[in-house]
């Protein structure tokens, strides 16, 4: 009877109908049906789902367990009406004629001579790559993936094993043989329980008993050592072969006539010093510097056939680098701007063409990738380009891409990595970028072992440190080559002119030899003062400080006229504001630097480049304004300019048709486009938070654009002084200071964590350990591990400390002493750092210090240094009079260290020299002071110091001390003769008025510990000193072991707390489960390149699915728009609701992050998503022309284009995420949204790719 069929049982009562509730599907819909109760009286839950809905409550789960245990027939599998269903199988006879071929278990291996390539033999080896795939293996031996994934890979792929990490070998992965599986009770037992620092020592003991008592176990063991007469020779040889080397005195078995002679005397070992650390000896040099100043005379003998011949003679640093490339070694080139670093990159590409391998050239920005593509395409031909929206010639031998693209390829297991021989990192100093610097570190860590590295950078001071880090994590030598000088020297000037009369006011600030000219600086200051004085005589006391429009125009006109007369064009003017660039160019309306033929050439080229644009786009105000400027030899280059116009400006500048270029500092990071002169509009910039001076690295990078190699003998760098002349110290620091060091910007991202968690063999902790941020702490890890082994053996050899009898409380006494010393040190630090404490630590204050031989030594402060961060107290203290040998008698009598007794630790008798005393002058830190007394002495510190200085001269060394010193030592001796307890200390709470809780608790703890010292009996034992020192040494070993184990553990990682917090965030949001396995939401987040959490929540929350493609694109603009705007967007009701939902999701994520411990404020996280471009994108997707778009916002054209281009990448990420979760509707909408925004001038093809 079906479930919907009416029952035939009559109703006993009108209200007692046989009705049941049926759950239809899993959406919660219920239907009322007629069905009689079960014959056994049990009421089964009715559902169209064969197995019913899963339990949703703890009580329901408990009920299910109870019913299952009590009555298994309750399970739904016994309800045949619902469970016994079958589907007929279609017979396929043809499948019987095919079967899968078993993969071969062995392979043929060729053995060749590594030097000549000659075939030595052929052998059959086990095929360990059977069953490997991109979804289960990190090995390069896995089969290639489908062609569609060959370039960018797939998020379901495993990456290839990173070079430098210890990859498990086949032998390690094989199952352990049956013989090895047997438990070895002597070696396989755990020595320390989980959570314990130390455990049992299972080393065999000699079974020694009391003296004079024979040990039967020892005797039997001794008899077993005799070799039986009938032992075979093989066994004897095996024993001899594996017998460890022993001392000659212990070789053989000594005969004895008495069993008593076999007894062993027990001797209590004396404490031995700790084994010395061997960190320096175990270090390996990974960074190898090469001197670029030395000539390479045998270059062409070593490399008779170059892979690529340049039309000019190479510099020594280029030759050394090419030699390294030919040897297959990685190099780090740190050279000045325009020195020729690209030559090394070109040779690596040529080697790949010769070896039929592949090279990847990475750049920090997309624009530079396009430029390099054009240059290398002309030189080599077989070159491809991969960016976010363009893929050209992806099968080429050389691929140009940004570093982010390469990171994605590495994480996604791209098959391009298999054929990769060289990766070239250009502009490596960009690793200092706070936002994107982490990408360089990720890529360098993830590169496989077979890939060689070329690093190209501007001059930085810590090249060896950076190269050592790379070499250590990749386990390969990195050769470092740096240039010492520029090929074209620079001359730096201050320019103070502002009119035709003052246009020649150039003052040399630094000559071509690099010498700073103070004479030129003072001359510039004097010229400014003279002009100010004349202005005051004519117009009053007030004088202009520069910056006005009229003043700036006069400065630029006079400067350009002077440079034109000096033949110092073309010139690049670096201006640190897009608005200032526009203003400076617009001020030169009367300037025309081009001839008629040059104007015609500019017009023709400009028209040709823009011919691909639609008519309305060619009439944009920026397009027309730029044409007018270019025809007069003036150009503008900044992020607000349309990309196609920036490329036109760059190409015209390289042709020499742009005479003066106003640019922001991004122009300094590009291809080799040098100028004759570089001008700085200002030396101050806004870095996003405040105004500051240029750093030496920034100044050198931009100034390096001056001087064209082969055309100019020197380059000219000019600093405009529109207002006052900058301070000399600021100029000197900027021009001659050390460039900014390469610093780690490594940070954890959710994308990195999820990409590594999905691969079981890779750990996020290993990524953190190999980061440049952890370089200094991890570089000695091998030495630490060896040191741990040595200390562990030392600890085992020490044996147990005798703590019985009169030493029963030795352990407690030792812990009390250590706690007292530590508490006193902590309290003393608080005291000396307080204001009242520093006031007390003044000249004349009597203090108490502790030396190795005397616990309470009085002294008086004579001098206090002015360095607040590391204050030094020059103190005169009492000591013993030196006699023969120069050692005080009391110190000669001491035999090594002494154990601290309660009298030593408690304030008691102050040290007084025996007989005629002496004095010492010590330089003390605050931590060296044991106690501040309430006594002060009136001393003439200068006279005392003069007497001490005089007594140290050879001719006065034997003279008695001067009167000033004698007076101080006599006063200190008088204080030392006082009864014990008379010299009291300053109470931190009562005398110094330190009321902090920590100080009060420390004072109370010290009193309690001091009171407990008198209650111990162990100091009265004659063995106290020896056993205490042994216990102290053991404690030192344990402390050192704890420190080294911490340094070699994951707990020492600085980012580990943040990692655990981010893991908790992912677990709360259900991106991973409790075991760390990546769930569906986590796999979706791996598809997203930025803002992973918000995009994933938007996709899975269903916020985007109901919207139109135009509305989805408009909402997603918040992911890519980061600029400020004064225009409030006018949004539709649907968009307003979408904006509200996005902010709510962002706030929910931010609150979870805060609850998990992350410190990012909720407001900051939510405010990073800006909706100022939402209306613009919405109208652009609906088809509005770009000219009309510009009327909706105050954002510049270039910024809009850049945001929309990045928006297309975000749309593709959302499309991939929708495809993964099976949302076909959203996937189709994202395809549509991407097509709607990819049109006209916004996605005009780059001129460099045409």
Phi (first) and psi of residue 491, to 5 degrees: -120, 130
Contacts of residue 924, defined as CB under 8 A and 6 or more positions apart, other chains included, come to 849, 872, 873, 874, 875
The average pLDDT across 907-922 equals 76
- Do 672 and 653 contact (CB within 8 A), yes or no? no
Write out the two tokens for 1244: 């005009």
Tell me whether strands 106-112 and 287-290 are parallel, antiparallel or unpaired.
unpaired
Phi (first) and psi of residue 18, to 5 degrees: -80, 75
- Would the pLDDT of 1233 be above 90? yes
Distance of CA 864 to the CA centre of its chain: 40
Q: Which of 348, 433, 367 is nearest to 1201 (CA)?
A: 367
Q: Given this model, what pLDDT does residue 940 score?
A: 82
Helices (H), 170-242: 170-173, 178-181, 216-224, 233-242
User: Long-range CB contacts (< 8 A, 24+ apart) of 436-441?
Assistant: 436/364, 436/403, 436/404, 436/745, 437/744, 437/745, 437/746, 438/745, 438/746, 438/747, 438/749, 439/403, 439/404, 439/407, 440/403, 441/744, 441/745, 441/746, 441/771, 441/772
**Dihedral angle over CA of 1083, 1084, 1088, 1093, nearest 10:** -100
Task: With H, G, I as helix, E, B as strand and everything else as coil, classify residue 795.
Answer: helix
pLDDT bracket for residue 896 (50, 70, 90): low
Largest CA distance in the chain: 132
| Cα distances (angstroms) measured from residue 539 to each of 57, 532, 536, 724 | 88, 10, 5, 18
The average pLDDT across 790-815 equals 88
pLDDT bracket for residue 1169 (50, 70, 90): very high
The average pLDDT across 910-926 equals 79
- Distance CA(711)–CA(674), nearest Å, equals 10
Count CB atoms within 10 A of the CB of residue 66. 11
Task: Give 924's strand partners.
Answer: 873
Task: Give 877's strand partners.
Answer: 859, 920
- Would the pLDDT of 99 be above 60? yes
Q: Which helix (H) or strand (E) holds 948?
A: helix 941-951
Domain boundaries in the chain? 19-83, 287-482, 490-576+664-736, 593-656, 834-998, 1087-1249
Q: Given this model, what pLDDT does residue 403 score?
A: 94
Q: Given this model, what pLDDT does residue 1147 score?
A: 96
* Percent above pLDDT 70 for the chain: 81
- Do 471 and 478 contact (CB within 8 A), yes or no? yes
Q: Which helix (H) or strand (E) holds 818?
A: helix 810-833
- Would the pLDDT of 39 be above 60? no
- Distance CA(621)–CA(716), nearest Å, equals 34
Range among 350-359, 780-789, 812-821, 1240-1249 with highest mean pLDDT value: 350-359
Tell me whether strands 660-663 and 571-574 are parallel, antiparallel or unpaired.
parallel
* Percent above pLDDT 90 for the chain: 48
Tell me whether strands 119-126 and 106-112 are parallel, antiparallel or unpaired.
antiparallel
| Residue 86: Cβ-neighbour burial (10 angstroms; 0-12, 13-18, 19+) | exposed
Task: With H, G, I as helix, E, B as strand and everything else as coil, classify residue 46.
Answer: strand
Task: With H, G, I as helix, E, B as strand and everything else as coil, classify residue 416.
Answer: helix
User: Long-range CB contacts (< 8 A, 24+ apart) of 1181-1187?
Assistant: 1181/1109, 1181/1110, 1181/1113, 1181/1114, 1181/1233, 1181/1236, 1181/1237, 1182/1110, 1182/1236, 1183/1236, 1185/616, 1185/617, 1185/1240, 1186/616, 1186/617, 1186/620, 1186/1240, 1186/1241, 1186/1242, 1187/616, 1187/617, 1187/619, 1187/620
Count CB atoms within 10 A of the CB of residue 850. 18
| Chain segment 337-372, per-residue pLDDT in tens | 888 899 999 999 999 999 999 999 999 888 889 999
| Cα distances (angstroms) measured from residue 384 to each of 346, 416, 419 | 14, 12, 15
Q: Do domains 490-576+664-736 and 834-998 have the same CATH topology?
A: no
- Distance CA(1224)–CA(1215), nearest Å, equals 9
Distance of CA 1127 to the CA centre of its chain: 38
- Distance CA(1103)–CA(1164), nearest Å, equals 23
Task: Give 490's strand partners.
Answer: 715
- In CATH, the number for domain 287-482 is 3.40.50.300
pLDDT bracket for residue 984 (50, 70, 90): confident
Q: Given this model, what pLDDT does residue 60 score?
A: 61
Q: Which of 672, 671, 649 is nearest to 661 (CA)?
A: 649
- Do 122 and 108 contact (CB within 8 A), yes or no? yes
Q: Given this model, what pLDDT does residue 963 score?
A: 83
- Would the pLDDT of 119 be above 90? no
- In CATH, the number for domain 834-998 is 2.30.30
Please give the angle made by the CA atoms of 100, 106 and 107, to the nearest 5 degrees.
105
Lowest mean pLDDT among 95-99, 361-365, 399-403, 446-450: 95-99
CA-based torsion, 1080, 1086, 1092, 1096: positive or negative = negative
In terms of CATH architecture, what is 1087-1249?
Orthogonal Bundle (1.10)
- Do 309 and 319 contact (CB within 8 A), yes or no? no
- Would the pLDDT of 981 be above 80? no
| Chain segment 301-342, per-residue pLDDT in tens | 999 999 999 999 999 999 999 999 999 999 999 998 888 899
Task: With H, G, I as helix, E, B as strand and everything else as coil, classify residue 890.
Answer: helix
- Distance CA(451)–CA(352), nearest Å, equals 12
Tell me whether strands 420-425 and 287-290 are parallel, antiparallel or unpaired.
unpaired
Indicate the DSSP class of residue 510: E
- Distance CA(514)–CA(683), nearest Å, equals 19
Contacts of residue 54, defined as CB under 8 A and 6 or more positions apart, other chains included, come to none
Phi (first) and psi of residue 1045, to 5 degrees: -65, -35
- Distance CA(438)–CA(165), nearest Å, equals 19
More confident residue, 885 or 570: 570
Q: Confirm or reject CATH 2.20.25.90 for domain 490-576+664-736, answering yes or no.
A: no
pLDDT bracket for residue 927 (50, 70, 90): confident
Indicate the DSSP class of residue 706: B
Concatenated DSSP letters for 557-624? HHHHHHHHHTT--SEEEE-S-HHHHHHHHHTTTT-----HHHHHHHHHHHHHHTTTS-HHHHT-HHHH
Phi (first) and psi of residue 833, to 5 degrees: -85, -15
Task: Give 918's strand partners.
Answer: 879
Q: Given this model, what pLDDT does residue 267 score?
A: 36
- Would the pLDDT of 1108 be above 70? yes
Lowest mean pLDDT among 796-810, 1065-1079, 1117-1131: 796-810
pLDDT bracket for residue 199 (50, 70, 90): low
Write out the two tokens for 479: 């050769």
Concatenated DSSP letters for 865-882? -S-SSS--EEEEEEEPPP
| Residue 747: Cβ-neighbour burial (10 angstroms; 0-12, 13-18, 19+) | middle
């Amino acid at each position: 009877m079906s479930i919907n069929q009416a029952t035939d049982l009559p109703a006993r009562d009108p209200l007692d109908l046989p009705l049941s509730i049926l759950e239809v599907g899993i959406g919660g819909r219920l239907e009322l049906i007629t069905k009689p109760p079960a014959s056994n009286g049990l009421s089964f839950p009715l559902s169209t789902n064969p197995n019913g809905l899963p339990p949703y409550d703890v009580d329901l789960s408990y009920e299910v367990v109870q019913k299952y245990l009590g009555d298994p027939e309750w399970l739904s599998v016994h309800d045949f009406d619902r469970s016994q269903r079958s589907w007929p199988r279609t017979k396929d006879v043809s499948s019987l004629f095919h079967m899968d071929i078993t993969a071969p278990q062995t392979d043929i291996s060729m053995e060749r001579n590594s030097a000549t390539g000659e075939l030595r033999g052929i052998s059959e080896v086990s095929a360990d790559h059977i069953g490997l795939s991109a979804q289960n293996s990190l090995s390069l031996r896995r089969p290639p993936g489908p062609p569609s994934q060959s370039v960018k890979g797939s998020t379901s792929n495993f990456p290839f094993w990173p070079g430098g990490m210890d990859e498990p070998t086949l032998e390690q992965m094989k199952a352990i043989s049956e013989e090895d599986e047997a438990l070895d009770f002597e070696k396989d037992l755990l020595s320390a329980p989980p959570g314990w620092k130390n455990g049992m020592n299972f080393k065999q003991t000699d079974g020694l008993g009391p003296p004079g008592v024979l040990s039967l176990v020892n005797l039997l063991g001794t008899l077993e050592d005799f070799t039986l007469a009938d032992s075979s020779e093989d066994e004897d040889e095996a024993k001899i072969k594996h017998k460890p080397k022993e001392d000659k005195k212990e070789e053989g078995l000594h005969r004895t006539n008495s069993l008593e002679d076999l007894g062993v005397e027990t001797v209590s070992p004396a404490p031995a010093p700790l084994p010395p650390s061997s960190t320096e000896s175990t270090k390996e040099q990974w960074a190898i510097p090469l001197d670029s100043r030395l000539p390479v005379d045998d270059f062409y003998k070593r490399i008779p056939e170059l892979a690529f011949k340049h039309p000019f003679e190479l510099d020594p640093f280029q030759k050394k680098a090419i030699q390294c490339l030919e040897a297959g070694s990685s190099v780090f080139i740190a050279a000045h701007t325009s020195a020729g670093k690209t030559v090394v990159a070109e040779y690596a590409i040529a080697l790949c063409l010769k070896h039929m391998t592949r090279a990847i050239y990475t750049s920090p920005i997309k624009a530079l990738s396009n430029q390099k593509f054009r240059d290398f395409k002309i030189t080599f031909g077989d070159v491809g380009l991969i960016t976010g929206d363009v893929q050209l010639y992806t099968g080429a031998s050389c691929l140009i891409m940004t570093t982010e693209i390469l990171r994605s390829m590495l994480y996604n297991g791209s098959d391009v990595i298999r054929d990769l021989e060289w990766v070239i990192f250009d502009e490596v100093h960009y690793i200092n970028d706070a936002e994107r610097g982490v990408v360089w570190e990720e890529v360098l860590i993830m590169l496989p072992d077979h890939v060689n590295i070329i690093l190209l950078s501007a001059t930085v001071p810590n090249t060896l440190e950076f190269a050592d880090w790379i070499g250590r994590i990749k386990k390969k030598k990195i050769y470092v080559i740096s240039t010492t000088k520029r090929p074209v020297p620079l001359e730096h000037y201050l320019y103070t002119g502002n009119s035709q009369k003052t246009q020649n006011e150039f003052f040399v600030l630094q000559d071509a030899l690099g010498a700073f000219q103070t004479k030129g600086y003072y001359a510039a200051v004097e010229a400014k003062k003279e002009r100010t004085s004349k202005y005051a005589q004519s117009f009053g006391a007030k004088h202009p400080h520069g910056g006005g429009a009229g003043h700036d125009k006069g400065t630029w006109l006079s400067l350009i006229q002077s440079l034109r007369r000096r033949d110092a064009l073309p010139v690049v003017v670096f201006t640190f504001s897009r608005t200032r660039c526009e203003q400076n160019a617009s001020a030169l309306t009367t300037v025309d630097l081009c001839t008629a033929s040059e104007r015609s050439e500019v017009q023709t080229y400009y028209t040709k480049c823009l011919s691909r644009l639609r008519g309305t786009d060619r009439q944009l105000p920026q397009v027309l304004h730029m044409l007018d400027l270019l025809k007069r030899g003036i150009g503008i280059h900044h992020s607000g300019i349309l990309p196609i116009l920036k490329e036109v400006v760059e190409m015209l500048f390289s042709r020499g048709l742009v005479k003066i270029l106003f640019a922001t500092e991004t122009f300094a990071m590009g291809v080799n486009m040098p100028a004759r002169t570089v001008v700085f509009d200002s030396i101050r910039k806004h870095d996003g938070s405040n105004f500051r001076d240029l750093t030496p690295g920034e100044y050198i990078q931009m100034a390096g654009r001056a001087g064209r190699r082969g055309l100019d003998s020197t380059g000219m760098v000019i600093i405009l002084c529109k207002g006052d002349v900058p301070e000399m110290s600021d100029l000197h620091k900027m021009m001659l200071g050390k460039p900014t060091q390469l610093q780690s910007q490594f940070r954890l991202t959710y994308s990195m964590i999820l990409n590594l968690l999905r691969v079981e063999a890779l750990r996020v902790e290993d990524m953190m350990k190999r980061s440049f941020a952890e370089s200094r702490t991890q570089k000695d890890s091998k030495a630490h591990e060896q040191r741990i082994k040595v200390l562990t053996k030392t600890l085992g050899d020490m044996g147990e400390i005798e703590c019985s009898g009169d030493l029963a409380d030795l352990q407690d006494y030792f812990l009390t002493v250590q706690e007292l010393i530590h508490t006193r040190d902590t309290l003393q630090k608080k005291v000396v750092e307080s204001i009242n404490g520093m006031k007390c630590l003044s000249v004349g204050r009597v203090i108490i210090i502790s030396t190795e031989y005397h616990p309470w030594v009085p002294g008086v402060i004579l001098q206090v240094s002015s360095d607040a961060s590391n204050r030094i107290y020059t103190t005169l203290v009492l000591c013993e009079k030196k006699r023969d040998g120069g050692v005080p008698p009391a110190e000669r009598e001491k035999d090594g260290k002494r154990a601290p007794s309660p009298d030593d630790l408690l304030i008691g008798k102050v040290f007084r020299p025996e007989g005629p005393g002496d004095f010492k002058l010590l330089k003390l830190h605050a931590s060296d002071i044991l106690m501040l007394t309430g006594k002060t002495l009136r001393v003439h510190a200068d006279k005392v110091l003069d007497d001490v200085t005089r007594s140290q001269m050879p001719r006065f060394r034997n003279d008695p001390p001067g009167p000033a010193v004698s007076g101080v030592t006599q006063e200190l001796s008088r204080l030392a003769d006082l009864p014990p307890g008379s010299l009291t200390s300053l109470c931190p709470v009562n005398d110094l008025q330190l009321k902090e809780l920590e100080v009060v608790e420390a004072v109370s703890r010290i009193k309690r510990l001091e009171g407990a010292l008198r209650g111990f009996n162990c100091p009265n034992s004659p063995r106290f000193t020896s056993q205490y020192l042994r216990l102290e040494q053991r404690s030192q070993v344990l402390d050192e072991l704890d420190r080294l184990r911490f340094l070699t553990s994951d707990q020492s990682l600085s980012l580990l707390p943040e990692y655990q917090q981010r893991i908790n965030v992912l677990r709360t949001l259900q991106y991973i489960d409790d075991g760390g396995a990546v769930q569906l939401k986590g796999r979706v987040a791996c598809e997203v390149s930025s803002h992973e959490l918000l995009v994933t929540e938007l996709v899975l929350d269903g916020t985007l699915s109901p919207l139109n493609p135009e509305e989805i694109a408009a909402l997603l603009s918040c992911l890519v728009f980061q600029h400020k705007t004064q225009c409030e967007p006018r949004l539709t009701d649907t968009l307003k609701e979408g904006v509200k939902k996005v902010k709510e999701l962002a706030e929910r994520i931010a609150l979870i992050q805060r609850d998990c411990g992350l410190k990012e404020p909720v407001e900051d996280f939510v405010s990073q998503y800006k909706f100022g471009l939402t209306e613009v994108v919405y109208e652009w997707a609906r088809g509005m022309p770009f000219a009309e778009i510009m009327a909706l916002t105050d954002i510049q054209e270039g910024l809009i284009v850049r945001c929309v281009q990045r928006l297309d990448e975000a749309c593709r990420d959302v499309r991939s995420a929708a495809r993964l979760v099976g949302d076909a509707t959203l996937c189709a909408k994202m395809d549509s949204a991407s097509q709607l925004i990819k049109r006209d001038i916004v996605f005009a093809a780059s001129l460099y790719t045409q």
